Amino acid sequence: MSAKEYDYSLYLVTDSTPAILGDKDLVSVVKSAVEGGVTIVQYRDKVSETADLVRIAKELHEVTRAAGVPLLINDRVDVALAAGVEGVHVGQDDLDLKTARKLLGPDAIIGVTANSEDEALEAAKNGADYLGIGTVFATPTKENTKSIIGTTGVQQILSSLASAGHDVKTVCIGGINASNAQRVLYQTTSPKKKLDGVAVVSAIMGSSDPAAAASDLRKLIANPPLFATSTSKNTLSRSDLVSKVPSVIKRMATAKPLSHNMTNLVVQNLAANIALAIGASPIMSNNGLEAADLASLGGSLVINMGTTTPEIRENHLKALAAYNAVGGPTLLDPVGAGATEQRREGVRRLLGGGYFDVIKGNEGEIRTVAGSQGVRQRGVDSGASQLSLEERIMLVKGTAARERNVVLMTGSTDVVSDGERTFLISNGHELLGEITGSGCALGTTIASVMAVEREDKLLGAVAGILMYEIAAERAAKREDVKGPGTFVPAFIDELYRIRRESLSGDGSWSEAAK
């Protein structure tokens, strides 16, 4: 079999240190892991003497050979030769690839660690059979990793390999486990290239039941995450999409989905009233420990960073994992994302910790999410626009494609994209900017709609935006509305009226879409 034909889908890297292996026996753990479904094994041992390395490698090789699984040695070409295994894995500071190839011959599997596009392109050009791309997430298993590149960094490396025409195999490594493997495979995929597998250390080596851990991971990586949308592209035009909006609102008002809000103190009351007005069932719970129970009820989750502390963030991460596990829609409102280091860190942690179906924010917030450098916000209000419309479109579209979700940048013209289709919406009213929490409650509205519209996330988001902003226009036009104070109750009434009209089959309100 040539090195390219091996199955890289579940790649086990061993670790013999007590911190991970505990008092278990290395060879027994690898045997169980192979029985559980590991498809390739790398013996990584930075401490044993050479004679021991060769002896253990031979023992491991008996186990892997019996299962038809290749065995590689980390770093040590001499040990690989002495034990007669299938290949090696070399890091950037190890023996260079060309020399390793000369020593091991054309049939050996040689893998290389790549942390950047340059390293990946260089290794692919020099004939690496596969790349170990990382570090994806911070991991206690290897402390001296060069940099954390996240799913974004992996996706970028894959894209540049594809652009250069390299068909090298790829796995990613660093902090991968059963809670994130599906998401990582999903979010690193670009139209051009996807990973061939995931590499893990502690998720299997540190498990008390390595066979079960391996077989769990195998099952997970064979299936897309529940929040993935079908690969058949949603190709509705803007007008077709808008024409479907009233029926989506009708479905929501009929189903009365749970609208779970983890939001800030300032907007809890307004957001709950707005959820009720549109026909959803609000629950304002910031307790991450009850999120799994709530997620099982079929609703959606809003995570709003308006008042954030490290403790609140831990609750957010628990809830995010609970909704991701059942495919319940999630919306991130990164309030004031660029304002402080705490908030920037909050965004990084949340994006690294799970999948959001929608990320909604103003220009500064979305720029922070997109990772633009040097973005400073004054308060948590929307502030003046710094980007041209074209730049805003590029940013929103690129971020949505990167996250494989929907990104909405609000403004006098809203920009919303699923990475393929990008729409502009110019509804709404300036009075929305004169009351507190109107942006947050838009998040509640969109998430409520997403609970019933799971096929086409962009349709769900557009339906929520239009209902919300057209209601604001209607309210602002009313004679009894004299300013922000009278606007709020009128706005809630108009949301309620749109819900009633949609329920009765009258979708003409959506003709105000612009």
> Which CB sits closer to ligand 3NM, 150 or 174?
174
> Which CB sits closer to ligand 3NM, 139 or 188?
139
> Of 339, 440, 465, 495, which is the active-site residue?
440
* Min separation Cβ 213 and Mg ion, Å: 24
Give the alpha-carbon dihedral of 158, 171, 353, 368, to 10 degrees.
-20
What is the 8-class DSSP label of residue 92? T
From the list ligand 3NM, Mg ion, none, partner contacted by residue 440 (C-beta under 5 to 8 A by kind): none
Tell which residue, 355, 359, 256, 269, has the closest CA to residue 305: 359
176 binds ligand 3NM (CB under 6 A): yes
Q: Which of 14, 64, 170, 202 binds ligand 3NM (CB under 6 A)?
A: 202
Residues in the chain: 514
What is the 8-class DSSP label of residue 285? -
Question: How many whole angstroms separate alpha carbon 338 and alpha carbon 380?
Answer: 9
> Which CB sits closer to Mg ion, 98 or 219?
98
Query: Given the rule CB under 6 A, which of 46-54, 136-144, 293-301, 311-319 is the region that contacts ligand 3NM?
Result: 136-144
The 10 Å CB-count burial string (b at 16+, else e) for 214-225 is bbbbbebbeebb
The phi and psi torsions of 302 (rounded to 5 degrees) equal: -105, 125
Q: Which residue is nearest to Mg ion (CB)?
A: 91
* Min separation Cβ 74 and Mg ion, Å: 6
Report residue 199 as tokens: 């590499």
197 binds ligand 3NM (CB under 6 A): no
From the list ligand 3NM, Mg ion, none, partner contacted by residue 94 (C-beta under 5 to 8 A by kind): Mg ion
181 binds ligand 3NM (CB under 6 A): no
> Which CB sits closer to Mg ion, 94 or 119?
94
Query: Given the rule CB under 6 A, which of 27-35, 174-182, 189-197, 284-292 is the region that contacts ligand 3NM?
Result: 174-182
Provide CB contacts within 8 A for 459, sequence distance 6+. 234, 236, 241, 244, 245, 248, 453
Query: Given the rule CB under 6 A, which of 103-111, 140-148, 213-221, 481-489 is the region that contacts ligand 3NM?
Result: 140-148
Query: Given the rule CB under 5 A, which of 5-13, 90-98, 160-168, 181-189 is the region that contacts Mg ion?
Result: 90-98
From the list Mg ion, ligand 3NM, none, partner contacted by residue 195 (C-beta under 5 to 8 A by kind): none
Q: Which of 94, 122, 290, 493 binds Mg ion (CB under 5 A)?
A: 94
Tell which residue, 442, 403, 407, 439, has the closest CA to residue 421: 407
139 binds ligand 3NM (CB under 6 A): yes
Q: Which of 91, 327, 371, 484 binds Mg ion (CB under 5 A)?
A: 91
Neighbours of 512 (CB within 10 A): 13
Phi-psi bin for 105: left (phi > 0), alpha (psi -120 to 50), beta?
left
174 binds ligand 3NM (CB under 6 A): yes
> Which CB sits closer to ligand 3NM, 144 or 239?
144
State the amino acid at position 189 in one-letter form. T
> Which CB sits closer to ligand 3NM, 176 or 490?
176
| Residue pair 246/511 in contact by the 8 Å Cβ criterion | no
Angle (CA) 350-226-264 rounded to 5° is 35
Residue numbers 472-511 binding ligand 3NM by CB under 6 A: none
Query: Given the rule CB under 6 A, which of 65-73, 129-137, 223-231, 404-412 is the region that contacts ligand 3NM?
Result: 129-137
* Min separation Cβ 149 and Mg ion, Å: 18
From the list ligand 3NM, Mg ion, none, partner contacted by residue 201 (C-beta under 5 to 8 A by kind): ligand 3NM
How far does Cα 46 stand from its chain's mean position? Answer: 33
| Residue pair 214/204 in contact by the 8 Å Cβ criterion | yes
207 binds ligand 3NM (CB under 6 A): no
440 is catalytic: yes
> Which CB sits closer to ligand 3NM, 46 or 98?
46
Query: Given the rule CB under 6 A, which of 134-142, 319-327, 384-392, 443-451 is the region that contacts ligand 3NM?
Result: 134-142
| Residue keyed to tokens 């790549």 | 114
Strand order in the sheet with 258-262: 281-284, 258-262, 300-304, 330-333, 358-361, 406-409, 414-417, 422-425
142 binds ligand 3NM (CB under 6 A): yes
State the binding string over 33-72 for Mg ion (x if CB under 5 A, else -): ----------------------------------------
* Min separation Cβ 353 and ligand 3NM, Å: 15
75 binds Mg ion (CB under 5 A): yes
* Min separation Cβ 89 and Mg ion, Å: 7
Question: How many whole angstroms separate alpha carbon 231 and alpha carbon 420?
Answer: 12
Residue numbers 98-127 binding ligand 3NM by CB under 6 A: 113
What is the 8-class DSSP label of residue 423? E
175 binds ligand 3NM (CB under 6 A): yes
The sign of the dihedral angle between the CA atoms of 117, 396, 381, 462 is: negative
Contacts 24+ apart (CB under 8 A), 120-125: 120/157, 120/160, 120/161, 121/160, 121/161, 121/164, 121/166, 123/97, 123/168, 124/161, 124/164, 124/166, 124/168, 125/166
> Which CB sits closer to ligand 3NM, 336 or 353?
353
Where are the extended beta strands (E) located within 135-225? 169-173, 197-200
| Residue pair 441/270 in contact by the 8 Å Cβ criterion | yes
Residues annotated catalytic, as ranges:
440
Q: Which residues bind ligand 3NM (CB under 6 A)?
A: 13, 113, 132, 134-135, 139, 141-142, 145, 173-176, 200-203
